[in-house]
Homo-oligomer: A and B are copies of this chain.
Amino acid sequence: MAGARLSGFPEWLPEGRVVEQSILDTARRIFELHGFASIETRAVEPLPELTRKGEIDKEVYVIRRLHAEGDGDAGLGLHFDLTVPFARYVVENAGKLEFPFRRYQIQKVWRGERPQEGRFREFTQADIDVVDKDSLAFHYEVDMAVVMSALLAALPIPRSVIHVSNRKVAEGFYRALGVTDTAAVLRVVDKIDKVPEPALRTMLAEQAGMSESAINMCLKLASIRSHDTSFVDDVRALGVSDPLLDEGLDELARVVSGVASLRPGAILADLRIARGLDYYTGTVYETELEGFAGLGSISSGGRYDALASDGKVTYPGVGISLGVTRLVSVLLGKGLLAATRAVPSAVLVAVLDEESRSLSGQVAEQLRSRGIACEVASKPDKLGKQIRFAERRGIPFVWFPDTGSVKDIRTGDQYEADAAAWDPPAEDLHPRVVRMSDLPSKASPSSTQEDTP
Protein backbone atom coordinates (compact mmCIF):
# COMPACT_ATOMS: atom_id res chain seq x y z
CA MET A 1 0.00 0.00 0.00
CA ALA A 2 1.13 3.54 -0.65
CA GLY A 3 1.14 6.32 1.92
CA ALA A 4 -2.63 6.29 2.41
CA ARG A 5 -2.48 9.45 4.46
CA LEU A 6 -6.28 9.72 4.19
CA SER A 7 -7.83 6.87 6.13
CA GLY A 8 -10.26 4.84 4.03
CA PHE A 9 -8.92 6.10 0.67
CA PRO A 10 -6.39 3.42 -0.32
CA GLU A 11 -3.77 3.92 -3.02
CA TRP A 12 -1.41 1.28 -4.38
CA LEU A 13 2.22 1.49 -5.33
CA PRO A 14 2.91 0.55 -8.98
CA GLU A 15 3.52 -3.15 -8.10
CA GLY A 16 0.23 -3.28 -6.21
CA ARG A 17 -1.51 -1.67 -9.15
CA VAL A 18 -0.16 -4.48 -11.40
CA VAL A 19 -1.99 -6.94 -9.14
CA GLU A 20 -5.19 -4.87 -9.17
CA GLN A 21 -5.04 -4.33 -12.93
CA SER A 22 -4.60 -8.06 -13.50
CA ILE A 23 -7.73 -8.78 -11.42
CA LEU A 24 -9.68 -6.13 -13.35
CA ASP A 25 -8.48 -7.55 -16.68
CA THR A 26 -9.58 -11.04 -15.66
CA ALA A 27 -12.99 -9.73 -14.54
CA ARG A 28 -13.45 -7.96 -17.86
CA ARG A 29 -12.42 -11.06 -19.83
CA ILE A 30 -14.77 -13.39 -17.95
CA PHE A 31 -17.67 -10.92 -18.08
CA GLU A 32 -17.27 -10.35 -21.82
CA LEU A 33 -16.99 -14.10 -22.52
CA HIS A 34 -20.44 -14.35 -20.92
CA GLY A 35 -21.87 -11.63 -23.13
CA PHE A 36 -21.95 -8.72 -20.68
CA ALA A 37 -21.50 -5.30 -22.31
CA SER A 38 -19.52 -2.58 -20.56
CA ILE A 39 -21.12 0.62 -19.39
CA GLU A 40 -20.10 3.36 -16.97
CA THR A 41 -22.40 5.73 -15.15
CA ARG A 42 -21.58 9.20 -13.82
CA ALA A 43 -20.22 9.32 -10.25
CA VAL A 44 -23.10 11.46 -8.98
CA GLU A 45 -26.82 10.83 -8.54
CA PRO A 46 -29.62 13.03 -7.25
CA LEU A 47 -29.85 12.60 -3.47
CA PRO A 48 -33.43 11.22 -3.56
CA GLU A 49 -32.15 8.31 -5.74
CA LEU A 50 -29.42 7.60 -3.21
CA THR A 51 -31.52 7.83 -0.06
CA ARG A 52 -34.70 6.07 -1.08
CA LYS A 53 -33.38 2.57 -0.42
CA GLY A 54 -32.22 1.12 2.85
CA GLU A 55 -30.27 2.52 5.72
CA ILE A 56 -27.32 3.41 3.57
CA ASP A 57 -28.32 7.10 3.47
CA LYS A 58 -26.14 8.06 6.42
CA GLU A 59 -23.12 7.05 4.37
CA VAL A 60 -23.69 9.24 1.30
CA TYR A 61 -21.20 11.95 0.35
CA VAL A 62 -22.89 15.06 -0.98
CA ILE A 63 -21.02 17.41 -3.32
CA ARG A 64 -21.25 21.15 -3.93
CA ARG A 65 -19.16 23.65 -5.85
CA LEU A 66 -16.64 25.52 -3.72
CA HIS A 67 -17.90 28.87 -4.95
CA ALA A 68 -21.46 27.85 -5.76
CA GLU A 69 -23.52 30.92 -6.52
CA GLY A 70 -26.93 29.38 -7.05
CA ASP A 71 -27.97 25.90 -6.09
CA GLY A 72 -27.35 24.33 -9.50
CA ASP A 73 -25.51 21.38 -7.97
CA ALA A 74 -27.67 21.13 -4.90
CA GLY A 75 -28.89 17.69 -4.14
CA LEU A 76 -26.15 15.61 -5.79
CA GLY A 77 -24.24 12.87 -4.01
CA LEU A 78 -21.54 10.34 -4.93
CA HIS A 79 -22.95 6.87 -5.69
CA PHE A 80 -22.46 4.27 -2.94
CA ASP A 81 -22.92 1.25 -5.22
CA LEU A 82 -23.31 0.54 -8.93
CA THR A 83 -26.79 -1.03 -8.76
CA VAL A 84 -28.78 2.12 -7.97
CA PRO A 85 -27.10 4.12 -10.80
CA PHE A 86 -27.56 1.18 -13.16
CA ALA A 87 -31.29 1.03 -12.39
CA ARG A 88 -31.58 4.75 -13.12
CA TYR A 89 -29.60 4.31 -16.38
CA VAL A 90 -31.90 1.49 -17.51
CA VAL A 91 -35.04 3.54 -16.89
CA GLU A 92 -33.58 6.61 -18.64
CA ASN A 93 -32.40 4.66 -21.67
CA ALA A 94 -35.00 1.90 -21.84
CA GLY A 95 -36.04 2.90 -25.37
CA LYS A 96 -32.47 2.42 -26.65
CA LEU A 97 -31.54 -0.84 -24.90
CA GLU A 98 -32.31 -4.44 -25.89
CA PHE A 99 -33.87 -6.52 -23.09
CA PRO A 100 -32.89 -8.66 -21.32
CA PHE A 101 -30.01 -6.22 -20.96
CA ARG A 102 -26.80 -7.63 -19.49
CA ARG A 103 -24.02 -5.26 -18.55
CA TYR A 104 -20.84 -5.17 -16.52
CA GLN A 105 -19.62 -2.04 -14.78
CA ILE A 106 -16.26 -1.52 -13.10
CA GLN A 107 -16.06 1.75 -11.18
CA LYS A 108 -15.25 3.38 -7.89
CA VAL A 109 -17.95 3.98 -5.29
CA TRP A 110 -17.89 6.06 -2.11
CA ARG A 111 -19.30 5.50 1.36
CA GLY A 112 -18.72 7.74 4.36
CA GLU A 113 -18.31 4.75 6.69
CA ARG A 114 -15.87 4.46 9.55
CA PRO A 115 -12.76 2.96 7.90
CA GLN A 116 -11.64 -0.44 9.25
CA GLU A 117 -10.08 -3.62 7.85
CA GLY A 118 -11.80 -4.44 4.58
CA ARG A 119 -13.97 -1.29 4.73
CA PHE A 120 -13.02 1.76 2.72
CA ARG A 121 -14.51 5.14 1.92
CA GLU A 122 -13.50 4.82 -1.73
CA PHE A 123 -13.38 1.42 -3.39
CA THR A 124 -13.67 -0.27 -6.78
CA GLN A 125 -16.48 -2.69 -7.57
CA ALA A 126 -16.88 -4.95 -10.61
CA ASP A 127 -20.58 -5.64 -11.15
CA ILE A 128 -22.62 -7.78 -13.52
CA ASP A 129 -26.39 -7.45 -13.77
CA VAL A 130 -29.18 -8.64 -16.03
CA VAL A 131 -32.47 -6.73 -16.20
CA ASP A 132 -35.55 -7.42 -18.26
CA LYS A 133 -38.81 -5.61 -18.87
CA ASP A 134 -41.83 -6.57 -16.74
CA SER A 135 -40.48 -9.99 -15.78
CA LEU A 136 -37.07 -11.65 -15.55
CA ALA A 137 -36.42 -15.35 -16.21
CA PHE A 138 -35.47 -17.14 -12.99
CA HIS A 139 -32.45 -18.93 -14.47
CA TYR A 140 -30.46 -15.68 -14.29
CA GLU A 141 -30.37 -16.12 -10.51
CA VAL A 142 -28.38 -19.30 -11.16
CA ASP A 143 -26.32 -17.70 -13.95
CA MET A 144 -25.04 -14.78 -11.82
CA ALA A 145 -23.48 -17.17 -9.30
CA VAL A 146 -22.04 -19.33 -12.08
CA VAL A 147 -20.33 -16.38 -13.78
CA MET A 148 -18.95 -15.00 -10.51
CA SER A 149 -17.77 -18.45 -9.56
CA ALA A 150 -15.96 -18.71 -12.92
CA LEU A 151 -14.27 -15.38 -12.21
CA LEU A 152 -13.25 -16.35 -8.67
CA ALA A 153 -11.81 -19.62 -10.00
CA ALA A 154 -9.83 -17.72 -12.67
CA LEU A 155 -8.17 -15.46 -10.08
CA PRO A 156 -4.96 -16.51 -8.28
CA ILE A 157 -6.64 -16.26 -4.88
CA PRO A 158 -7.56 -18.63 -2.04
CA ARG A 159 -10.66 -20.78 -2.53
CA SER A 160 -13.97 -19.02 -1.98
CA VAL A 161 -17.55 -20.14 -1.54
CA ILE A 162 -20.65 -18.18 -2.55
CA HIS A 163 -23.15 -18.24 0.32
CA VAL A 164 -26.68 -17.91 -0.92
CA SER A 165 -30.09 -17.38 0.60
CA ASN A 166 -33.44 -15.98 -0.52
CA ARG A 167 -35.30 -13.01 0.92
CA LYS A 168 -38.61 -14.84 0.39
CA VAL A 169 -37.50 -17.62 2.74
CA ALA A 170 -36.69 -15.14 5.49
CA GLU A 171 -39.72 -12.93 4.93
CA GLY A 172 -42.17 -15.85 4.69
CA PHE A 173 -40.65 -17.43 7.77
CA TYR A 174 -40.74 -14.23 9.86
CA ARG A 175 -44.26 -13.46 8.65
CA ALA A 176 -45.44 -16.90 9.76
CA LEU A 177 -43.91 -16.12 13.18
CA GLY A 178 -46.13 -13.04 13.36
CA VAL A 179 -43.38 -10.48 12.73
CA THR A 180 -44.69 -7.40 10.89
CA ASP A 181 -41.47 -5.44 10.23
CA THR A 182 -39.48 -8.12 8.41
CA ALA A 183 -37.02 -5.50 7.09
CA ALA A 184 -36.04 -4.72 10.69
CA VAL A 185 -35.31 -8.42 11.35
CA LEU A 186 -33.23 -8.65 8.17
CA ARG A 187 -31.14 -5.66 9.20
CA VAL A 188 -30.38 -7.29 12.57
CA VAL A 189 -29.74 -10.75 11.06
CA ASP A 190 -27.30 -9.11 8.62
CA LYS A 191 -25.08 -8.39 11.65
CA ILE A 192 -25.14 -12.00 12.90
CA ASP A 193 -21.43 -12.59 12.31
CA LYS A 194 -20.38 -9.38 14.06
CA VAL A 195 -22.71 -9.15 17.07
CA PRO A 196 -22.64 -11.67 19.99
CA GLU A 197 -25.84 -13.68 20.46
CA PRO A 198 -27.13 -11.97 23.64
CA ALA A 199 -26.88 -8.54 22.01
CA LEU A 200 -28.48 -9.91 18.87
CA ARG A 201 -31.42 -11.22 20.90
CA THR A 202 -31.86 -7.83 22.55
CA MET A 203 -31.81 -6.10 19.15
CA LEU A 204 -34.42 -8.50 17.73
CA ALA A 205 -36.65 -7.93 20.75
CA GLU A 206 -36.27 -4.17 20.75
CA GLN A 207 -35.99 -3.34 17.05
CA ALA A 208 -38.37 -5.96 15.63
CA GLY A 209 -40.63 -6.52 18.64
CA MET A 210 -40.06 -10.29 18.60
CA SER A 211 -40.97 -12.70 21.38
CA GLU A 212 -38.35 -15.01 22.85
CA SER A 213 -39.78 -18.04 21.05
CA ALA A 214 -39.83 -16.16 17.72
CA ILE A 215 -36.21 -15.12 18.32
CA ASN A 216 -35.30 -18.76 18.98
CA MET A 217 -36.88 -19.80 15.69
CA CYS A 218 -35.20 -16.94 13.84
CA LEU A 219 -31.76 -17.98 15.15
CA LYS A 220 -32.46 -21.64 14.33
CA LEU A 221 -33.28 -20.67 10.75
CA ALA A 222 -30.07 -18.63 10.54
CA SER A 223 -27.99 -21.62 11.64
CA ILE A 224 -29.06 -23.80 8.68
CA ARG A 225 -26.60 -24.34 5.84
CA SER A 226 -25.87 -27.05 3.27
CA HIS A 227 -23.91 -27.60 0.06
CA ASP A 228 -26.91 -29.42 -1.41
CA THR A 229 -30.69 -29.04 -1.14
CA SER A 230 -30.90 -30.79 2.23
CA PHE A 231 -31.44 -27.37 3.83
CA VAL A 232 -35.06 -27.58 2.62
CA ASP A 233 -35.81 -30.48 5.00
CA ASP A 234 -33.98 -28.69 7.83
CA VAL A 235 -36.20 -25.63 7.38
CA ARG A 236 -39.36 -27.76 7.09
CA ALA A 237 -38.37 -29.50 10.33
CA LEU A 238 -38.82 -26.18 12.14
CA GLY A 239 -42.55 -26.60 11.49
CA VAL A 240 -43.17 -23.14 10.06
CA SER A 241 -45.42 -22.87 7.01
CA ASP A 242 -46.09 -19.97 4.65
CA PRO A 243 -46.64 -19.70 0.86
CA LEU A 244 -43.81 -17.14 0.46
CA LEU A 245 -41.50 -19.42 2.44
CA ASP A 246 -42.37 -22.30 0.09
CA GLU A 247 -41.66 -20.17 -2.96
CA GLY A 248 -38.35 -19.03 -1.50
CA LEU A 249 -37.25 -22.58 -0.59
CA ASP A 250 -38.06 -23.76 -4.10
CA GLU A 251 -36.06 -20.91 -5.67
CA LEU A 252 -33.13 -21.38 -3.30
CA ALA A 253 -33.04 -25.11 -4.03
CA ARG A 254 -32.94 -24.38 -7.77
CA VAL A 255 -30.01 -21.95 -7.35
CA VAL A 256 -28.04 -24.35 -5.14
CA SER A 257 -28.57 -27.41 -7.34
CA GLY A 258 -28.08 -25.40 -10.56
CA VAL A 259 -24.72 -23.97 -9.48
CA ALA A 260 -23.53 -27.14 -7.71
CA SER A 261 -24.13 -29.25 -10.82
CA LEU A 262 -21.81 -27.01 -12.86
CA ARG A 263 -19.30 -26.06 -10.13
CA PRO A 264 -19.21 -28.56 -7.27
CA GLY A 265 -18.32 -26.91 -3.95
CA ALA A 266 -18.75 -23.38 -5.29
CA ILE A 267 -22.03 -22.63 -3.52
CA LEU A 268 -23.49 -23.02 -0.04
CA ALA A 269 -27.10 -22.47 1.02
CA ASP A 270 -26.65 -20.33 4.13
CA LEU A 271 -29.87 -19.11 5.74
CA ARG A 272 -28.16 -16.36 7.72
CA ILE A 273 -27.35 -14.35 4.59
CA ALA A 274 -29.54 -11.23 4.65
CA ARG A 275 -27.67 -8.30 2.96
CA GLY A 276 -27.88 -4.79 4.34
CA LEU A 277 -29.60 -3.23 1.34
CA ASP A 278 -33.39 -3.06 1.27
CA TYR A 279 -33.88 -3.40 -2.47
CA TYR A 280 -33.35 -7.19 -2.69
CA THR A 281 -36.48 -9.31 -3.14
CA GLY A 282 -35.27 -12.86 -3.91
CA THR A 283 -31.89 -14.61 -4.11
CA VAL A 284 -29.09 -12.93 -2.14
CA TYR A 285 -25.37 -13.74 -2.44
CA GLU A 286 -22.34 -13.20 -0.21
CA THR A 287 -18.90 -14.71 -0.70
CA GLU A 288 -16.37 -15.76 1.87
CA LEU A 289 -12.68 -16.03 1.07
CA GLU A 290 -11.35 -19.17 2.74
CA GLY A 291 -9.18 -18.25 5.72
CA PHE A 292 -10.46 -14.66 5.77
CA ALA A 293 -13.91 -14.90 7.36
CA GLY A 294 -13.41 -11.64 9.27
CA LEU A 295 -12.76 -9.73 6.06
CA GLY A 296 -16.43 -9.66 5.09
CA SER A 297 -17.94 -10.64 1.77
CA ILE A 298 -15.77 -10.26 -1.33
CA SER A 299 -18.69 -10.72 -3.72
CA SER A 300 -22.30 -9.87 -3.00
CA GLY A 301 -25.57 -9.20 -4.76
CA GLY A 302 -29.06 -10.41 -5.33
CA ARG A 303 -32.36 -10.19 -7.10
CA TYR A 304 -34.29 -6.90 -7.10
CA ASP A 305 -37.79 -6.70 -8.51
CA ALA A 306 -38.72 -3.07 -8.06
CA LEU A 307 -35.51 -1.01 -8.04
CA ALA A 308 -35.83 0.14 -11.65
CA SER A 309 -39.22 1.57 -12.51
CA ASP A 310 -40.56 4.64 -14.27
CA GLY A 311 -43.89 4.31 -12.51
CA LYS A 312 -45.49 2.41 -15.40
CA VAL A 313 -42.93 -0.20 -16.43
CA THR A 314 -40.78 -2.13 -13.98
CA TYR A 315 -37.41 -3.65 -14.85
CA PRO A 316 -36.62 -6.51 -12.48
CA GLY A 317 -32.98 -7.50 -12.27
CA VAL A 318 -30.37 -9.64 -10.60
CA GLY A 319 -26.71 -8.92 -10.15
CA ILE A 320 -23.52 -9.72 -8.29
CA SER A 321 -20.49 -7.59 -7.55
CA LEU A 322 -16.81 -8.30 -6.90
CA GLY A 323 -15.33 -6.10 -4.16
CA VAL A 324 -12.06 -5.44 -5.95
CA THR A 325 -10.47 -3.08 -3.42
CA ARG A 326 -11.29 -5.31 -0.45
CA LEU A 327 -9.80 -8.28 -2.27
CA VAL A 328 -6.68 -6.45 -3.44
CA SER A 329 -6.09 -4.95 -0.01
CA VAL A 330 -6.02 -8.36 1.67
CA LEU A 331 -3.97 -10.00 -1.11
CA LEU A 332 -1.34 -7.27 -0.90
CA GLY A 333 -1.61 -6.75 2.84
CA LYS A 334 -1.07 -10.45 3.61
CA GLY A 335 1.59 -10.76 0.92
CA LEU A 336 -0.33 -13.47 -0.97
CA LEU A 337 0.30 -12.05 -4.45
CA ALA A 338 3.09 -10.07 -6.02
CA ALA A 339 4.03 -8.69 -9.43
CA THR A 340 7.14 -9.99 -11.18
CA ARG A 341 8.02 -6.33 -11.76
CA ALA A 342 6.46 -2.90 -11.18
CA VAL A 343 7.03 -1.53 -14.69
CA PRO A 344 5.78 -2.66 -18.10
CA SER A 345 9.25 -2.39 -19.68
CA ALA A 346 10.88 -5.69 -20.63
CA VAL A 347 13.95 -3.90 -21.96
CA LEU A 348 16.02 -0.87 -21.00
CA VAL A 349 17.85 0.49 -24.02
CA ALA A 350 21.15 1.92 -22.83
CA VAL A 351 22.36 5.36 -23.95
CA LEU A 352 26.10 5.74 -24.59
CA ASP A 353 26.13 9.53 -24.94
CA GLU A 354 23.55 12.23 -25.66
CA GLU A 355 24.67 12.36 -29.32
CA SER A 356 23.61 8.75 -29.89
CA ARG A 357 20.30 8.99 -27.95
CA SER A 358 18.41 8.88 -31.26
CA LEU A 359 20.11 5.54 -32.09
CA SER A 360 18.82 4.14 -28.78
CA GLY A 361 15.42 5.58 -29.62
CA GLN A 362 15.40 3.74 -32.95
CA VAL A 363 16.12 0.42 -31.25
CA ALA A 364 13.29 1.12 -28.80
CA GLU A 365 10.88 1.91 -31.66
CA GLN A 366 11.78 -1.36 -33.41
CA LEU A 367 11.08 -3.35 -30.26
CA ARG A 368 7.81 -1.48 -29.59
CA SER A 369 6.59 -2.05 -33.14
CA ARG A 370 6.65 -5.76 -32.29
CA GLY A 371 4.85 -5.32 -28.98
CA ILE A 372 7.87 -5.30 -26.65
CA ALA A 373 7.56 -2.60 -23.98
CA CYS A 374 10.81 -0.73 -23.40
CA GLU A 375 12.29 2.49 -22.22
CA VAL A 376 15.43 4.42 -23.11
CA ALA A 377 17.83 5.23 -20.28
CA SER A 378 17.42 8.65 -18.77
CA LYS A 379 21.10 9.63 -18.85
CA PRO A 380 24.30 8.38 -20.54
CA ASP A 381 25.63 7.14 -17.21
CA LYS A 382 28.31 4.48 -16.94
CA LEU A 383 26.81 1.24 -18.21
CA GLY A 384 27.07 -0.41 -14.80
CA LYS A 385 24.87 2.35 -13.42
CA GLN A 386 22.36 1.89 -16.24
CA ILE A 387 22.25 -1.87 -15.51
CA ARG A 388 21.69 -1.23 -11.82
CA PHE A 389 18.90 1.16 -12.74
CA ALA A 390 17.18 -1.64 -14.74
CA GLU A 391 17.79 -4.06 -11.88
CA ARG A 392 16.13 -1.80 -9.31
CA ARG A 393 13.03 -1.64 -11.50
CA GLY A 394 12.99 -5.35 -12.27
CA ILE A 395 13.54 -4.77 -16.00
CA PRO A 396 15.04 -8.10 -17.10
CA PHE A 397 16.97 -7.03 -20.23
CA VAL A 398 19.39 -4.22 -21.12
CA TRP A 399 20.09 -3.49 -24.79
CA PHE A 400 23.40 -2.04 -25.97
CA PRO A 401 22.89 -0.26 -29.30
CA ASP A 402 26.62 0.15 -30.01
CA THR A 403 27.44 -3.55 -30.00
CA GLY A 404 23.93 -4.66 -31.05
CA SER A 405 23.72 -6.98 -28.06
CA VAL A 406 21.26 -7.69 -25.26
CA LYS A 407 22.01 -8.79 -21.69
CA ASP A 408 19.77 -10.79 -19.38
CA ILE A 409 20.80 -9.00 -16.20
CA ARG A 410 19.52 -11.83 -13.98
CA THR A 411 21.88 -14.42 -15.46
CA GLY A 412 24.52 -12.09 -16.88
CA ASP A 413 24.15 -13.75 -20.30
CA GLN A 414 24.87 -11.30 -23.11
CA TYR A 415 24.51 -12.05 -26.80
CA GLU A 416 24.19 -10.34 -30.18
CA ALA A 417 20.62 -9.57 -31.17
CA ASP A 418 18.66 -7.84 -33.91
CA ALA A 419 16.01 -5.40 -32.65
CA ALA A 420 13.89 -6.31 -35.67
CA ALA A 421 13.78 -9.99 -34.72
CA TRP A 422 14.68 -10.58 -31.04
CA ASP A 423 11.95 -11.58 -28.59
CA PRO A 424 12.17 -11.94 -24.82
CA PRO A 425 10.92 -15.23 -23.34
CA ALA A 426 7.09 -15.13 -23.19
CA GLU A 427 7.09 -15.04 -19.38
CA ASP A 428 9.22 -11.87 -19.42
CA LEU A 429 7.13 -9.96 -21.98
CA HIS A 430 4.72 -8.45 -19.45
CA PRO A 431 4.74 -8.13 -15.66
CA ARG A 432 2.95 -11.17 -14.25
CA VAL A 433 1.10 -11.69 -11.01
CA VAL A 434 2.34 -14.65 -9.01
CA ARG A 435 1.48 -16.24 -5.71
CA MET A 436 4.27 -15.29 -3.33
CA SER A 437 5.02 -18.96 -2.74
CA ASP A 438 5.78 -19.33 -6.48
CA LEU A 439 8.17 -16.40 -6.62
CA PRO A 440 11.89 -17.28 -6.71
CA SER A 441 13.86 -15.39 -4.10
CA LYS A 442 15.40 -12.29 -5.65
CA ALA A 443 18.81 -12.93 -7.18
CA SER A 444 21.22 -10.72 -5.33
CA PRO A 445 23.18 -8.35 -7.59
CA SER A 446 26.44 -9.97 -8.57
CA SER A 447 29.52 -8.01 -9.54
CA THR A 448 29.35 -9.57 -13.01
CA GLN A 449 26.01 -7.96 -13.59
CA GLU A 450 27.41 -4.61 -12.64
CA ASP A 451 30.37 -4.86 -15.03
CA THR A 452 30.24 -2.88 -18.22
CA PRO A 453 29.80 -5.16 -21.21
A278 to B59, CA, bound (A): 36
A112 to B74, CA, bound (A): 12
Stretch touching chain B among A1-9, A181-189, A242-250 = A1-9
A155: Cβ under 8 A from any B Cβ: no
* Contact among B13, B33, B59, B343 with A96 in the assembled complex (CB-CB below 8 Å): B13
Stretch touching chain B among A62-70, A197-205, A206-214 = A62-70
Please tell me if the beta carbons of A122 and B43 are within 8 angstroms of each other in the complex: yes
A345 to B77, CA, bound (A): 34
Please tell me if the beta carbons of B6 and A42 are within 8 angstroms of each other in the complex: yes
- Name the distance in Å between A127's Cβ and chain B's nearest Cβ: 14
**Most chain B CB neighbours (cut-off 10 Å) among A6, A37, A108, A343:** A37
Whose C-beta in chain B lies nearest to the C-beta of A73?
A: B112
Please tell me if the beta carbons of B110 and A43 are within 8 angstroms of each other in the complex: yes
A254 to B367, CA, bound (A): 25
* Contact among B3, B62, B375, B392 with A35 in the assembled complex (CB-CB below 8 Å): B375
**Most chain B CB neighbours (cut-off 10 Å) among A38, A41, A47:** A38
Q: How many protomers of this protein does the assembly include?
A: 2
A294: Cβ under 8 A from any B Cβ: no
A54 to B430, CA, bound (A): 39
Please tell me if the beta carbons of B93 and A41 are within 8 angstroms of each other in the complex: no
Residues of chain A at the chain B interface (Cβ within 8 Å): 2-3, 5-6, 9-14, 17-18, 21, 32-44, 46-47, 51, 57-68, 73, 76-78, 89, 92-93, 96-98, 100, 102-103, 108, 110, 112, 122, 132, 137, 139, 261-262, 342-345, 354, 357-358, 361, 368, 371-375, 378-379, 389, 392-393
Given A5-B92, A33-B373, A44-B122, 4 extra CB contacts under 8 A: A2-B96, A13-B96, A37-B343, A43-B122
Identify the 3 closest CB pairs spanning chains A and B, nearest first.
Answer: A35-B375, A3-B92, A65-B112
